[in-house]
Amino acid sequence: MTYCVGMRLNRGLVFMSDTRTNAGVDNFASTRKMFHWCVPGERAITVMTAGNLATTQAMISLLEERFKASEDRDPSILTQPTMFQVARLVGATLKEVIAYSAPSGPDSADQFSASVIVGGQIKGGQPTIFLVYPEGNFIEISEETPFFQIGEAKYGKPILVRAYDAEMPFEDVLKLLLVSFDSTVKSNLSVGLPFDVHVYEEEAFHCDRTHRIEQDDPVYNEIASKWGDALKTAFDLLPDYKV
Amino acid sequence: MTYCVGMRLNRGLVFMSDTRTNAGVDNFASTRKMFHWCVPGERAITVMTAGNLATTQAMISLLEERFKASEDRDPSILTQPTMFQVARLVGATLKEVIAYSAPSGPDSADQFSASVIVGGQIKGGQPTIFLVYPEGNFIEISEETPFFQIGEAKYGKPILVRAYDAEMPFEDVLKLLLVSFDSTVKSNLSVGLPFDVHVYEEEAFHCDRTHRIEQDDPVYNEIASKWGDALKTAFDLLPDYKV
């Protein structure tokens, strides 16, 4: 499995993904699920993937035009005029890969299925995020739905629903996402460190605020270990329930 | 769906269940999923059910011996010598009901499947809880696994993992369970109020500390609405993460 979150805030966008991939419990490895395409000053696009690894790797390779010789590559994701068109391109590519792997119809398509979060900003447009389905269609983030999750999303959802605030500074958002990821890691073996993070500030058109959070990251470990005590403090603020 | 939790503490046991039942989203109703059998001073047994409603209702009816005329009933759940034997009886009854509904083999058995939490205390034994599978086998609660969940368990699990403490007084446990249930209700339409609660104090052998928490319960609503603020306070106790 996988856990990825893309979140929109008033200051910009934040993306976080885990890196564990597994087939059963005795075959697991670490793999990158977050990818960037940037033209400094003009566009910054981030893609995160969940699902069948052969499908998502093929999709990323196609988006990077690895079917062409290096010198002929001019990935069309870098020339789409809007984020909407970027989402359409990602959706069409994903659908094509799944159809190629699963010629025998809808049932086998499930096996090769994948979901994608694609977000960013292109000059002249707003920063936005899309959730792309294996069928190639997609939905856009909104004020009422300010974040998308893919993969093992249930464990980490309640804290996001509760604590999300569009006005949050990026440091608080990272804390929030780390608590959500930590809750998932503690509940499900198929999600694991390291985590990849990308913070995108509105109108910055850069991809440089990316970071990998390793197993021994001191701040992450402090957040993970202090969260239990912090929750106890939070409980004390609630009224007692007597039966 | 459903959400039920059975938890063991040093002081005794706590059970909580929701009451929503649904077939699709346009056919839903409220039904009890928590049942008690008591002999004051001698035994107190609580059963909670999740899964196919026809299966779980038939199982409860069989345990109550509703196949006999009222005057002939002497439910054998009231005469089992130990909680282990109670769990075996519940498992055998559950397996029998599923086999009756699904004569056409394992595939159709899934459709009529159900899970059960059964816990309590019989004089001479310790208070304990079992999780009974549709195959009729079961596992027992332990120090390392001090609670069982059935139904829509993922949303409410992280908070239980984090904040559970065997020494907690019952008021804190109810707070904790209400936060876990509230997180689930806020994330999944198939779980809903009212909730049923049963608090069992070790060596009490009673079933009278039961309570129904309705939609308009003032303390529940205060907990649900204050939890967001309490979490913000908890976040402030964590170190910032800068990228």
- pLDDT tens by residue, A122-157: 999 999 999 999 999 999 999 999 999 999 999 999
> A74 by DSSP, 3-state: which?
coil
> B109 by DSSP, 3-state: which?
helix
Preceding peptide of A134 cis, ω within 30°: no
Q: What is the pLDDT confidence band of residue B243, given thresholds at 50, 70 and 90?
A: confident
Average pLDDT over residues B140-155: 96
- pLDDT tens by residue, A56-77: 999 999 999 988 898 888 899 9
d(CA A59, CA B180): 38
Q: What is the pLDDT confidence band of residue B48, given thresholds at 50, 70 and 90?
A: very high
pLDDT confidence of residue A107: 67
Whether A183 and B163 lie within 8 Å, measured CB to CB: no
Of the candidates A154, A184, A239, the beta carbon closest to that of B223 is on A239
d(CA A177, CA B241): 10
- Strand pairing partners for A201? A12
* Nearest C-alpha in B relative to A230: B234
Residue A108 has pLDDT above 80, yes or no: no
pLDDT confidence of residue B236: 87
Whether A186 and B234 lie within 8 Å, measured CB to CB: no
pLDDT confidence of residue B43: 97
Q: Are A1 and A115 in contact (CB under 8 A)?
A: no
Q: Give this prediction's pTM.
A: 0.92
Phi, psi of B199, rounded to the nearest 5 degrees: -105, 120
Residue A207 has pLDDT above 90, yes or no: no
By C-alpha distance, which of A216, A148, A186 is closest to A4? A148
Residue B119: C-alpha distances to residues A135, A194, B46, B79, B96 (Å): 46, 40, 5, 15, 21
Residue A208 has pLDDT above 70, yes or no: yes
Interface mutation vs chain B, best among A238, A240, A242, most B CBs within 10 Å: A238
Chains A and B form CB pairs within 8 A to the count of: 145
pLDDT confidence of residue B107: 67
- pLDDT tens by residue, B90-117: 999 999 999 998 876 666 677 899 999 9
d(CA B63, CA B151): 21
Residue A87: C-alpha distances to residues A4, A56, A91, B219 (Å): 17, 15, 6, 46
pLDDT confidence of residue B228: 83
pLDDT confidence of residue B145: 95
Residue B165: C-alpha distances to residues A221, B102, B197 (Å): 21, 41, 19
Whether B228 and A156 lie within 8 Å, measured CB to CB: no
Go through chain A and tell me how many residues it has: 243
pLDDT confidence of residue A229: 86
Residues of B in contact with A223 (CB under 8 A): 238-239, 241
